[in-house]
Chains A and B, each alone.
Chain A
Amino acid sequence: MTQPILEVSNLRKAYRQGGLFGGSAGPAALADVSLALRPEDGKVLSIVGESGSGKTTLARIVLRLVTADSGTVSVAGQTIVASGARTVDNRTLRHLVQPIFQNPFEAFSLQLPVEEYLFRTAINLGDAAMRSNPKPAVEDALTAVGLGYARIAGKGIRAFSGGELQRISIARALIAKPRLIVADEPVSMVDASLRMTIVNLFKELSEQLGVAFVYITHDLSTAYYLSDVMAIMRQGELVEFGRPETILQSPRNDYTKALLDAIPTLDRRWSIG
């Protein structure tokens, strides 16, 4: 059996709530979640769910921005979290998995030119050659997302649209040559007309560069379009997992059915009694 690109086992997390001195454990944000993305299944795993479903917590644990209470996470065969604790250093981690966040306007500082982020990533995470001359790596990453270096040179975030900034976020993530990119609601702040451009870019990058994606979203239609494997979460639990075609044709869970019925598509109009 081939090694999974991402494997999550028995992950649990409850945020503490209330109290001046630490409070008590709140409801489970993740209640014993296990899932895997295997190379034979494809390169893109979507995690779909409403607010509070635990999808962002899961993403943040994989990125190690949040500590799990218990459970194991491994990326490309390397365990990065075991029994909730870190097992590799941050530098190794950033070569395995990179983030793309929801709001590209908040991902970059207003004070710094955006290229600074790309150069710093190249210098921090690159090999000796890249550290001494980071520019080719930056240019390659920008070319991969369809931008030229000249377009971004010296410019701050105000010079870009949301779609362009999200491309720059993707270029930054690519510099580290990660095995996996975790994108948390990457197109929800982007105009509908540009959404497909970004989603298509994920598809293209996964096919051409072989990088895998975890695509976190509440939008089932783009998840269906993009993903090879789909996970549906609700209240900290995985309620459905499988190929998008199978889930669409025969949803097993009532919540999945409600989710599918609630999508406003052009193809049908709700009958409102």
Chain B
Amino acid sequence: MIVVDNVVAGYRTPSGIVKAVDRVSLEVRDGEILGIAGESGCGKTTLLKLLYGNLADGLEILSGRVYWRDPDGRRTIECADFRKHWWEIFSYVPQGSMSALNPLMRIAPQMLDAGTGGTRPDMAARRARIAKTMAELDLPERTQRLYPHQLSGGMRQRVLIGLAAYVDPDVVLADEPTTALDVVVQRQILENLVRLQRARQNAIVIVSHDLGLHAQIADRVAVLYAGRLAEIGTADAVLHRPAHPYTQGLVDALPRLGDKRPRQGIDGRPPDFMAMPQGCRFRPRCNRAIEACAGVDPDPQPHQGDRTAACIRLAEATA
């Protein structure tokens, strides 16, 4: 599992440090699908970079610790060393399938190349695993001989998932993997992803702003707001009985098929990281805010046994 322990991480800029992830603690458990939700600019992608150990573009851990631990707890790897274990333990499914694949190479050599790190692995075994994974992803055999531009967006995204999965990593990290796709294709790809995960028993962390997507495939859901963890718990609890007013707002903003009753979005937008409000960061947009909320930036507290949430008015949340 990956453990994030009270981590503050961010980017140094000329006008100061942007703490895109602030005092966040959570774990990615072995074999689970963890969904990360929140609006744009809430720290979702930064958190994913930490889980992948991709400390690039000026991202640094300012305090706290991110590490991976094997199931029997004998071996640990620190975040800064995750990179050495990319493909072996961690793999990543990026969002833009067109820019992630080499346009001048056919699919098969790109897949064979992945994560070899200069070593000369058993190519025949790799080929066999690629063929098996492609079949599991419902990709025709000839896909391997095609160039990226000859594939549809859905097929390319499946190739990226195949690329991340065939090496059999412990954790697959996916950043909005189906955002650019149509719902019918999205459903097929998410089903492929879940089937692969069940067959291989690895963990998946999936970042998406779409709560409906998390409701379909996630075991647990974490909701981020302004760099802080607002709520984390089982998908059922978080999405059907939200404790945090922000989660409640996101759930209320989702239109439902067959229901034309008026629905409202959440007014305003997430705060600027350089100008955080005093006290609870959600307070200016919160419909449950009271005076005391201005005095405290709450840490997540256990709530009803199945999740933790960061709100001082949890006791009054919907039961």
Contact = CB atoms under 8 A, between A and B. Distances in A.
Contacts of B249: 193
Please classify how large the interface on chain B is, using the bins under 10, 10 to 19, 20 to 34, 35 or more.
Answer: 35 or more
A2 interface: no
Interface in B240-260: 240, 249-251, 253-260
Interface stretch (A63-71, A128-136, A262-270): A262-270
Nearest to A192: B209
B274 interface: no
Nearest to A249: B258
B255 A225 contact: yes
B184 A259 contact: yes
Given A192-B209, A224-B260, A266 B239 contact: yes
A18 B157 CA distance: 26
A216 interface: no
Interface of A is mostly: helix
A218 B183 contact: yes
A196 B257 contact: no
A193 B183 contact: no
A196 B212 contact: no
B74 interface: no
Contacts, number: 114
A193 B153 CA distance: 26
B264 interface: yes
B296 interface: no
A209 interface: no
Given A193-B250, A195-B253, A259-B184, A264 B213 contact: yes
A17 interface: no
Interface string B126-146: 000000000000000000000
Contacts of A195: 253, 265
B253 A263 contact: no
A217 to B, nearest CB: 11
Interface in A166-225: 191-200, 218-222, 224-225
Contact of B185 (A50, A163, A199, A267): A50
B269 A222 contact: no
